[in-house]
Amino acid sequence: MDEPETPRLTIHEVARRAGVSHQTVSRYFRQNDTLKPATRAKIDLVVQELNYRPNLVARSMRTRRTNRLAITLPASLYLWPARLLRAAAAAAHDEGFQLEVVSVEGDPRARAERVLELAGSGQVEGVLSLTPLEIDPAAAPVPIVVTGDYDDKLRGANELADASPVEEIIDCLASLGHRVFFHIAGAQSWASARNRRLVYEQVIERRGLTSYGVALGDWSPQSGYDAVRGLPDGCGVTAVVAVNDHVAMGAVRGALSRGWRVPGDVSVFGWDDEELGRFATPALSTVAVNREMQGREAMARLVAAVRGEPAPPPAERPLNRVIVRETVGPPPA
């Protein structure tokens, strides 16, 4: 004989056991700040004892509120913007929202259809897209915010592709006495890699400096290592500008394997401020990219749209910041 089915716990049962009204328990789950600490503590105790979770689907049908947001990004990625996602999630949680990360397949039009389906599902109150969408956000059933800082393959675009710090890097190295430079580029399908190469070539020419050339790499440490190992003896290169920290660390290893001192014989600059580079020996000079700020600001725009509030102004500080560490010094006398 089958055992009788255990009845589903309801908000009314939580209220009865806590000795409060069901409206008070509802305010508790909406994270209402007007609840007295003692009342909140009583409900906390019952919720933990019963391991109670509110029925979000039923609540959303009644109130059209789910307290859930979504971030969408392309599927099958080898590089996820983890720091941005962590910051965006923290910002959403601070505002009382739960966050889902959803990967969507296909070209921009197919992804737009999937995002519209998600927006109309009744399960989320807003969507943050990290890539362009062929969609009119104003026609969506819930707010959709597009950051515009990544292309449809999640490659850095717009502000993330800003290469202006390359000029500061070259000026820093030139002020120390460097005159012969070498650039190890990233894959040229990325706007950020193309822009850094372009600014490098333009600044070298404007400053009357010498470039030994540009090595086309693939963002990997191996490409940095191979590029430096391939430099001929007597090339005169004393400054290497690498497209990212991985390439820069490969370049440092390549230089050391040749018996070159870093920075005594050659100085190396990276980009991204990867944590490993801070603890390397020597510590890597780089460009810090504040992806946490980007994630927080994007989520703040979405939360404001969901609440019908004006979008908050962007931070006044720049996204990129040049950091000089131990891999940079004067060239050999």
- For residues 162 and 170, the model is more confident at 170
As a whole number of angstroms, the distance between CA 5 and CA 25 comes to 25
- For residues 67 and 236, the model is more confident at 236
Using H for helix, E for strand and C for coil, what is the string for the chain? Answer: CCCCCCCCCCHHHHHHHHCCCHHHHHHHHCCCCCCCHHHHHHHHHHHHHHCCCCCHHHHHHHHCCCCEEEEEEECCCCCCCHHHHHHHHHHHHHCCCEEEEEEECCCHHHHHHHHHHHHCCCCCCEEEECCCCCCCHHHCCCCEEECCCECCCCCECHHHHCCCHHHHHHHHHHHCCCCEEEEEECCCCCHHHHHHHHHHHHHHHHCCCEEEEEEECCCCHHHHHHHHHCCCCCCCCCEEEECCHHHHHHHHHHHHHCCCCCCCCCEEECCECCHHHHHCCCCCEEEEECHHHHHHHHHHHHHHHHHCCCCCCCCCCCCEEEECCCCCCCCCC
What is the CB neighbour count within 10 angstroms for residue 60? Answer: 18
Structure tokens of 299? 């989520």
- For residues 283 and 52, the model is more confident at 283
Single pTM value for the model? 0.67
Q: 3-12, 183-192, 237-246 — which is least confidently predicted?
A: 3-12
Phi, psi values for residue 133, rounded to 5°: -130, 140
User: What pLDDT does 264 receive?
Assistant: 95
pLDDT tens digits, 213-227: 999 989 899 999 999
What is the CB neighbour count within 10 angstroms for residue 288? Answer: 16
Return mean pLDDT, the chain: 84
The set of residues, in sequence order, having a beta carbon less than 8 Å from that of 10 and lying 6+ positions away, is: none
pLDDT tens digits, 250-270: 999 999 999 999 999 999 999
Confidence of residue 212 (pLDDT cuts 50, 70, 90): very high
Domains defined along the chain, listed by start: 11-54 (1.10.260.40), 66-154 (3.40.50.2300), 161-289 (3.40.50.2300)
pLDDT tens digits, 51-60: 776 654 444 4
Best-predicted range by mean pLDDT among 76-90, 131-145, 167-181? 167-181
Strand order across the beta sheet in which 180-185 lies: 210-216, 180-185, 239-242, 267-269
